[in-house]
Amino acid sequence: MRRRHAKARVFAKFCGLVTWLGTALLLVLLWQIFSDGLRWLDIDFLRSFPSRFPERAGILSALAGTLWLISLVAIISIPVGVATAIYIEEFGGKGKLVKIIDINISNLAGVPSIVYGIIGLTLFVRGLQLERSLISGALTMSLLILPVIIIASREAIRTVPDSIRHAAIALGGTQWQTVWSHVLPASFPGILTGVILGLSRAIGETAPLIMIGALTYVAFVPEGPMDSFTALPIQIFNWVSRPQEEFHELAAAAIIVLLVVLLSMNSFAIFIRHKMEKKLQ
Amino acid sequence: MSSQSINAETAATELDNILEMENVSVAYAGNYAVKNVSFNVARNAITSIIGPSGCGKSTLLRCLNRMNDFILDASIEGNIRFEGQDIYAREVDAVEVRHHIGMVFQKPNPFPKSIFKNVAWGPTVNRYQGSITELVERSLKQASLWDEVKDRLNDSALGLSGGQQQRLCIARALAMEPNVLLMDEPCSALDPISTAHIEDLMFDLKSRYTIVIVTHNMQQASRVSDYTAFMEMGNLIEFDESERLFTRPSNQRTEDYVSGRFG
């Protein structure tokens, strides 16, 4: 009996230690980035284009590119992903087709991002002749994160109890009315979580963008989806690979900006989710 | 099937039947849950279906408004007529059937929305022409819930007690102004006081609606219903006026069940 308790205590300690280890590593990383980059971070850094002189270099084009990219990705991937999840869960039945789609989506979630880059290059850049434009990048990124959004949305839709669906059907609702007014609102918080996971991944991915040939030096702000572009991760990658110490610090500053964009996106989503959940209770 | 005795048949033919079941069988993936059941539901009366767990009474009830459509491997044979029209005929829209035949479920299942929206949703999606606000008030009054909720119509329905939630579900079904109300063990999740409340309510509703109630509570069936069907293992054993079925059943199985010898 005593040995069992001892075992339990040791295990709990071990779990606690591992949790703290992960957090501590993250803190060290953050501290290093902030101490390197913070002094470069000012309004001029956000307002300037990249330059070969560190003191004049900025991230305007990369930040604009990232914001453009993420907006386009959201516009493309959210409707497609959620609609796919609804079809599979609510309308698809148990046919072979749905099973095949199901297996494919699960597999796609595990495909390395560079492979999506190759698909994007052949399909969008060359096949559809969209060139190295924002829209090519957004379509490629959408492909990359669709599995994440679909899987999370399906999970969320599945947690809506059948009793709600039955109630709506019994009140003379069609299946679509049932999904639109009851299933979707009830699964919205879960769907939002999936969307955020997906978009967060898209915002940080570099490999597919390099593959489809997003530019590393861009001295203009994209004005439409057909313009060529760069993005924060590419700018960071570019600066880190230079020999001068100053550029490494600039990269750290850009990472801070990327983190801020990411965190504000996430907190906005959490805010909406919190509001929705409150409304449901 | 020879054990089946329908004493009320002569009486029932003189009455106006709103629902007629003829040799209804239901199978889930080849296993029959309901076997060759035939009886009629009289207009503006309460008909109860009783029987031990798993006898097929809920399955039968769910056929009456085509709620079994969503169970993928369920197959239904026989004939169910509502106002003389076969509700499984090809040209009949199941959504239309459910406009006329409402349903209240075993566990209260309000939508996670406001009390008002719970009642208003059905009429709204079915393009109700009149004033929704009046309809909501009328339905809540019919379900004798109005006085308890009139000051908090915009509060979440999930904040109501179990009994109130079930009455809200009844109000919600009534807001569709159905002809028939199906109730699948509506009191099984409720305490005795809430149950009495709902039974009183059923008496009030009888003048305007036809009610079919599935229950495993025999006292409830004998208290509230005019007609009772007793089912066992998917078979209809006896169908009769409730008074006669509970006092002088003609079948031995029925007598054993209603006298509490099993089940």
Backbone angles phi, psi at A237, to 5 degrees: -55, -45
Chain A residues with beta carbon closer than 8 angstroms to that of B156: 280-281
Alpha-carbon distance B197 to B220, whole Å?
A: 12
Establish how many alpha carbons lie within 13 A of residue A184's alpha carbon, considering only the half-sphere containing its beta carbon.
Answer: 14
Tokens in use for B18?
């709103």
Q: Decide if B122 and A172 are in contact by the 8 Å CB cutoff.
A: yes
Q: Residue holding tokens 């205590």?
A: A9
Nearest CA in chain A to B63: A170
Same domain, A155 and A33: no
Same domain, A25 and A67: no
Same domain, A49 and A95: yes
Mean pLDDT in residue range A138-162 = 91
Write the CB contacts of A142 (distance below 8 Å, at least 6 apart in sequence): A73, A76, A77, A80, A202
CB-closest option in B105, B172, B176 to A166: B105
CB of B121 less than 8 A from some CB of A: yes
Per the document, the length of chain B is 263
Q: Decide if A167 and B67 are in contact by the 8 Å CB cutoff.
A: no
Among residues of chain A, what percentage have pLDDT more than 90?
26
Alpha-carbon distance B138 to B100, whole Å?
A: 18
Q: Decide if B109 and A164 are in contact by the 8 Å CB cutoff.
A: yes
Count CB neighbours of B256 within 10 A: 14
Same domain, A148 and A96: yes
CB of B165 less than 8 A from some CB of A: no
Chain B residues with beta carbon closer than 8 angstroms to that of A280: 112, 156
Same domain, A34 and A114: no
Q: How many domains does chain A have?
A: 2
CB of B63 less than 8 A from some CB of A: no
Same domain, A241 and A192: yes
Helix (H) or strand (E) holding A262: helix A245-280
Nearest CA in chain A to B72: A93
Alpha-carbon distance A142 to A136, whole Å?
A: 10
**Three-point CA angle A76, A194, A80, nearest 5°:** 25
B/e letters for A95-132, b = 16+ CB within 10 Å, e = fewer, are eeeeeebeeebeebeeeebeebbebbbebbbeeeebeb
Alpha-carbon distance B208 to B219, whole Å?
A: 24
Chain A residues with beta carbon closer than 8 angstroms to that of B121: 168, 171, 173, 181
Q: Decide if A163 and B107 are in contact by the 8 Å CB cutoff.
A: yes
Alpha-carbon distance B45 to B40, whole Å?
A: 11
Same domain, A228 and A151: yes
Q: What is the CATH number of the domain that holds A61?
A: 1.10.3720.10
Q: Are strands B210-214 and B180-184 parallel, antiparallel or unpaired?
A: parallel
Q: Decide if B111 and A182 are in contact by the 8 Å CB cutoff.
A: yes
* CA distance to partner chain B, nearest, from residue A11 (Å): 40
The CATH superfamily assigned to B5-113+180-258 is: P-loop containing nucleotide triphosphate hydrolases (3.40.50.300)
Nearest CA in chain A to B65: A170
Q: Decide if A181 and B176 are in contact by the 8 Å CB cutoff.
A: no
Helix (H) or strand (E) holding B23: strand B17-28
The pLDDT of residue B91 is: 87
Q: Taking a C-beta distance cutoff of 8 angstroms, is the pair A229, A218 a contact? A: yes
Tens-binned pLDDT, residue by residue, of chain B (263 aa)? 334 444 444 444 445 888 899 999 998 888 888 888 998 999 889 999 998 888 888 889 999 989 888 776 788 888 898 988 888 888 888 888 998 999 999 889 999 989 999 999 989 888 888 888 999 998 998 888 888 898 999 888 898 988 889 989 999 999 998 999 999 988 887 788 888 888 888 888 888 899 999 988 888 888 889 999 999 888 889 898 888 888 888 888 888 888 876 65
Is the ipTM, as predicted for this complex, more than 0.95?
no
Backbone angles phi, psi at A205, to 5 degrees: -70, 135
Same domain, A143 and A251: yes
Same domain, A19 and A55: no
Does pLDDT of A276 surpass 60?
Answer: yes
Helix (H) or strand (E) holding B181: strand B180-184
Alpha-carbon distance A240 to A248, whole Å?
A: 5
Q: Decide if A163 and B105 are in contact by the 8 Å CB cutoff.
A: yes
CB of B160 less than 8 A from some CB of A: no
Alpha-carbon distance A184 to A63, whole Å?
A: 33
Write the CB contacts of A265 (distance below 8 Å, at least 6 apart in sequence): A70, A196, A199, A200, A203
Chain A residues with beta carbon closer than 8 angstroms to that of B126: 172
Alpha-carbon distance B112 to B156, whole Å?
A: 7
The pLDDT of residue B5 is: 45
Outline where A96-230 has alpha helix (H): 96-108, 113-120, 134-158, 162-170, 175-178, 184-204, 207-212
Same domain, A12 and A108: no
Q: Decide if B70 and A94 are in contact by the 8 Å CB cutoff.
A: no
Full residue range of the structural domain in which residue A26 is found: 2-40
* CA distance to partner chain A, nearest, from residue B96 (Å): 7
Does pLDDT of A2 surpass 80?
Answer: no
Same domain, A132 and A12: no
**How many residue pairs bridge chain A and chain B with CB atoms within 8 Å of each other?**
65
Outline where chain B has alpha helix (H): 9-14, 57-63, 94-100, 115-125, 132-142, 146-149, 162-174, 192-205, 218-224, 242-247, 252-258
Same domain, A199 and A164: yes
Query: Which residues of chain A are at the B interface, by a Cβ-Cβ cutoff of 8 Å?
Result: 93-94, 161, 163-174, 177, 181-182, 185-186, 280-281
Residues 7-46 of B with CB under 8 A from A: none
Mean pLDDT in residue range A59-83 = 90
Q: How confident is the model at residue A157 (pLDDT cuts 50, 70, 90)?
A: very high
